[in-house]
Amino acid sequence: LRELSPQDLRAHAAEALTRARARSLVLTDVDDETLTTQHSKLMSPLVWDLAHIGSQEELWLVRDVGGREPVRGDLDEIYDAFLHARADRPSLPMLGPEDARGYVREVREKSLEILEKVPLSGRRLLADAFAFGMITQHEQQHDETMLATHQLRQGDPVLHAPNPPKSAGPLPSEVLVPGGPFQMGTSAEPWALDNERPAHETVVEAFFIDTTPVTNGAYTEFLDSGGYDDPQWWSEPGWAYRQDNGIVAPRFWKREIDGWWRTRFGVYERVPAAEPVVHVSFYEAEAYAKWAGRRLPTEPEWEKAARFDPASGRSRRFPWGDDEPREEHANLGQRHLRPAEVGAYPAGASPLGVHQLIGDVWEWTSSDFHGYPGFAAFPYREYSEVFFGPEYKVLRGGSFGTDAAAIRGTFRNWDYPIRRQIFSGFRCARDAGPGEID
């Protein structure tokens, strides 16, 4: 970032903001009722997300970076996510669809003017350039949340996209990741959020990790062998969750006489065996792993598998190297409305041969969400620090709904272990025995 000229920084930020907005507009290009209905207690009405995107942009770019007067100071409270739980948002006096669209347009005009004028050099370079990155990622994160809202919505399909590539061929089931130190986290990545910082050395023991995420086919074996009815596979809180909520299969699945079917953005279809399983909670992932005689990877294990290059000993930005994601690397950006078959992205594999770490499905890890040694909250405690603790589990790698601007090898997402309306899947790991390390 320090090496880019102010003109290049501006062009990069403007392009990323524009791409995020195009996505937000596709996701909200639906009738007023679809926009204003609460499709699930777990989600906001789509029209709340849209104006919240504008409100955060007004706070951080228009007022903070630009030093300008508020556009709509009266909206701050309505769109403050910390003041209102999602379940309560429908009763807020929020902007209607036309006003929300007008509001985000007005804010965006101002932030692009500010981007043209801000020096992007000298004392405030890092803070100002980061603010544009933070707001871009914030909009993209809400775009993924809005995509999850679309998945929860009842009715005919309104979103359409071509299918992702097919598998390029079979792969070995697991890969050995060598033990020893590697660099985890980052101090250099310009748009990295506070919880990804700073870079620090971490040691892992040698372990095996699945080459790909666990597929629907493999998961169905767990289901069909009675895995959901056998407490021996479940943790104590996991079993209580399964019992209390009558959980019998991944979210959106239904058993028919001829096997498992699912609803996906309004389409009812047979569950495709070769795709990663999606819409499972941490507890379901953990139960599957135990049934399979394996376990979930820890966060350091996942990151080492994704970033460690044994040839140089360096940690790279992405499994395939330092280049920004391209279409052949990963299923990202809502280009496809489903995960791709395992083996579909050979160009995105890590040097050790681990595939589809980025894109397709978020992957549950066994780790709680905590700050790294030397963590400093930035720009505010509510961004991530207030979520640190044992209640949240970390997910890695992004999904087909995540934009390239909002994912990298160091990126950390977090959620409650019961959540599964997100695009969540997993892969398994196991300890390497003494005889297995060469």
**How far is the C-alpha of 430 from the C-alpha of 208, rounded, in Å?**
5
Q: Is 364 helix (H, G, I), strand (E, B) or coil?
A: strand
**How far is the C-alpha of 310 from the C-alpha of 64, rounded, in Å?**
43
Q: Which of 376, 399, 371 is nearest to 387 (CA)?
A: 371
Position 86, amino acid: R
> Which H or E run contains 306?
helix 299-307
Q: Which residue, 183 or 402, has its beta carbon nearer to ligand AVJ?
A: 402
Contact 194, 377 (CB under 8 A): yes
Is 368 labelled as part of a ligand binding site?
A: no
Other beta carbons within 10 angstroms of residue 391's beta carbon come to: 12
**How far is the C-alpha of 252 from the C-alpha of 277, rounded, in Å?**
11
> Which H or E run contains 282?
helix 282-291
Is 230 labelled as part of a ligand binding site?
A: no
User: What are φ and ψ of residue 40, in 5° steps?
Assistant: -160, 145
Tokens 């507890």: give the residue.
283
* Shortest distance in whole angstroms from residue 206 CB to ligand AVJ: 31
Q: Which residue, 149 or 331, has its beta carbon nearer to ligand AVJ?
A: 149
Q: Which residue, 89 or 355, has its beta carbon nearer to ligand AVJ?
A: 89
Q: Which of 432, 431, 427, 365 is nearest to 212 (CA)?
A: 427
The tokens describing 186, both together, are 């980052």
Q: Which residue, 38 or 413, has its beta carbon nearer to ligand AVJ?
A: 413
* Shortest distance in whole angstroms from residue 195 CB to ligand AVJ: 9
* Shortest distance in whole angstroms from residue 254 CB to ligand AVJ: 28
Residue nearest to ligand AVJ (CB): 141
* Shortest distance in whole angstroms from residue 358 CB to ligand AVJ: 16
* Shortest distance in whole angstroms from residue 147 CB to ligand AVJ: 12
Contact 407, 384 (CB under 8 A): no
Q: CA separation (Å) from 265 to 157, 261, 280, 337, 398?
A: 6, 13, 17, 8, 19
Q: Which residue, 53 or 285, has its beta carbon nearer to ligand AVJ?
A: 53
- Give residue 112's Cα distance to chain centre: 26
Q: Which residue, 215 or 413, has its beta carbon nearer to ligand AVJ?
A: 413
Q: Which residue, 103 or 234, has its beta carbon nearer to ligand AVJ?
A: 103
* Shortest distance in whole angstroms from residue 383 CB to ligand AVJ: 7
Is 87 labelled as part of a ligand binding site?
A: yes
Is 88 labelled as part of a ligand binding site?
A: yes
Q: Which residue, 141 or 149, has its beta carbon nearer to ligand AVJ?
A: 141
Is 138 labelled as part of a ligand binding site?
A: yes
Which residues here bind ligand AVJ, judged by CB under 6 A?
Answer: 81, 138, 141-142, 145, 413-414
Q: Which of 239, 330, 229 is nearest to 281 (CA)?
A: 239
Q: Which of 219, 237, 242, 227 is nearest to 427 (CA)?
A: 219
* Shortest distance in whole angstroms from residue 414 CB to ligand AVJ: 6
Q: CA separation (Å) from 88 to 42, 83, 326?
A: 10, 10, 39
* Shortest distance in whole angstroms from residue 179 CB to ligand AVJ: 30
Is 279 labelled as part of a ligand binding site?
A: no
Is 160 labelled as part of a ligand binding site?
A: no
Is 294 labelled as part of a ligand binding site?
A: no
Is 415 labelled as part of a ligand binding site?
A: yes
**Residues contributing to the annotated binding site for Fe cation:** 52, 138, 142
**Residues contributing to the annotated binding site:** 52, 86-89, 138, 142, 415, 419
